[in-house]
Structure 1
Amino acid sequence: MPDTPGLAVRTLTPDAPADAPPVLLVHGFGSDGTADWVDTGLAAALAATGRTVIVPDLCGHGASPVPESAAEVTAPALAADLVAVMDQAGAATFDIVGYSLGARVAWEIPSAAPGRVERAVLGGLAPGEPFTAVDIEALHRAVSDGTECEDPFTAAIAGMVGAHGDRAAGLALCVEGLRSVPFQGGPWNAKALPVFVVGENDDLTRGIDGLAESVGGARLVTVPGAHHEVLAGTGFRDTVLDVLAR
């Protein structure tokens, strides 16, 4: 697992390469590339179609370094890291699949790499910024010394982050960085409109139809499952393979 621009990156190389750009897979918050893409089989399924598949761990996640400041883990900063990964891979153009936080970060990439993003599937994207509701000081206290959070949502995030042991402080910085530059939509600057995929029981994605309309009527696909169930489902996998087919 070589390090590329500071990040841990896995690359799956097909046995019979297709005449198509590589695919960048971007995982969700508190997860990593192995859990979201390798263990679910989607990375292998894409490689089987002849695609080179690039699977990084975001800063603060998986085997990648822990951030030293929240500024390193805003969505634009995370997107810049991923563009550097694709630069080092020699990818003039590429497709993207992102889920949850991965979709949020993927939204920034066409602006950070003009003219290079071809097709994109954005799964589980919240049309707002959930982390703006976090009491960030309370979260840091909870992670550092176990102080209980009065706010239920902050307590839930603290529980999720705290489960990662010595990685918890870095994930708390990720929350701080992401909430400091909240998602506000805006133009989609890739060659084609993204395809949004949401679970039919995913409350986090409520209102995504408005976001899809705002970028010119992007396709919205609803599949079975709640937020944590969609990635492993056949509906999501089939949509990704269909959208990225060449």
Structure 2
Amino acid sequence: MQTFQSDGVEIAYLDEGHGPPILLVHGFASNVAMNWAATNWLTTLTKAGRRVIAIDNRGHGQSEKLYDTAQYGAPLMAEDCRRLLDHLQIERADVMGYSMGARICAFLALAHPTRVRTAIFAGLGFNMVRGMAGTGPIAHALEADSIDDVANPTARTFRAFAEQTKSDLKALAACIRSSRDPITREDIARISCPVLVAVGSDDVIGGSAVELAKLIPGAEAYEIAGRDHMKAVGDAGYKKAVLEFLSRND
């Protein structure tokens, strides 16, 4: 992993392979190693002739940990992605985000449409336009002295995942508490690049891929059969659908 300064925040990233660039943006409480390396996405994409740039979002992985909620939020994190493209002198790239990363990629495509060639929103479907609800229990779970003190089953799942990824729990609590700028149906309809929405058929966190794709002109939907939010990310069918989508739009 290398690092660069994004408006004074140290951001870690990986850059490997050769070919058309694709920027990968991981989900909440994850990191490059967990979201993209352990699932063989890095190998899949580089073997397919792609240059892979993968960012550790602020507060995550090897990037700087921040404890002020004002230092987070998808629009601000999208600017980290844009500055990384600037840093690497990449004018235009495909982008793929998972869960929170998909939301960040949507803001990137809206704020800087000329920088995004295609966008893949994975692990987040129709719930992208519903916004993030119920973050309080997750923040409290992250701040609890022990996971044994967490009764809420969903919040407990997030705490367990954060411990698995060896994350800074205080930084993640600040991230999840940050303002969740809404993406309206009107906003999402303004995305003009080719879009693929890929969500697990059993993913209650992300919502329907088909329903989100209906809101974006020309967007395609891919339902990752038999997968929930946590198990969809490494699915072979999802990988195949992404490679085919990228090839169709080369």
> TM-score scaled by structure 2?
0.84
- Aligned residue in 2 for 1:119: 118
- Aligned residue in 1 for 2:99: 100
Q: Structure 2: state its 5+ residue gaps.
A: none
Cα 1:67–1:182 change in 2 (3 A) is farther
What is the Cα deviation at residue 214 of structure 1? 1.5
Structure 1 contact 161–172 (Cα < 8 Å) conserved: no
Identity of aligned residues (%): 26
- Aligned residue in 2 for 1:221: 222
What is the Cα deviation at residue 126 of structure 1? 4.3
Moved more, 164-173 or 66-75: 164-173
What is the Cα deviation at residue 96 of structure 1? 0.6
What is the Cα deviation at residue 124 of structure 1? 0.8
- Aligned residue in 1 for 2:205: 204
Counting only pairs closer than 5 Å after superposition, residues 13-52 of structure 1 correspond to structure 2 as: 13-14=17-18, 17=19, 20=20, 22-52=21-51
Structure 1 contact 110–188 (Cα < 8 Å) conserved: no
Cα 1:193–1:32 change in 2 (3 A) is same
Partner SS, residue 30 of structure 1: coil
CA distance in 2, matches of 1:226, 1:166: 22
> TM-score scaled by structure 1?
0.85
CA distance in 2, matches of 1:48, 1:216: 31
Partner SS, residue 107 of structure 1: helix
Partner SS, residue 24 of structure 1: strand
Counting only pairs closer than 5 Å after superposition, residues 1-246 of structure 1 correspond to structure 2 as: 1-4=1-4, 5=6, 6-14=10-18, 17=19, 20=20, 22-128=21-127, 131-135=132-136, 139-140=139-140, 143=143, 145=145, 148=149, 153-161=154-162, 167-177=168-178, 179-185=179-185, 186-224=187-225, 225-245=227-247, 246=250
Q: Which amino acid aligns with 1:11?
A: D
Structure 1 contact 193–215 (Cα < 8 Å) conserved: no
Runs of 4+ in 1 over 6 A off after TM superposition: none
Cα 1:131–1:150 change in 2 (3 A) is farther
Q: Structure 1: state its 5+ residue gaps.
A: none
What is the Cα deviation at residue 242 of structure 1? 1.0
CA distance in 2, matches of 1:101, 1:134: 13
Instruction: Please list the CA deviations of residues 173-193 of structure 1 after superposition, one character each: whole Å capped at 9, or x if unmatched.
Output: 11011x532444423555523
Q: Which amino acid aligns with 2:34?
A: A
Partner SS, residue 115 of structure 1: helix
Q: Which amino acid aligns with 2:46?
A: A
CA distance in 2, matches of 1:214, 1:158: 33
Cα 1:149–1:196 change in 2 (3 A) is same
Cα 1:153–1:233 change in 2 (3 A) is closer
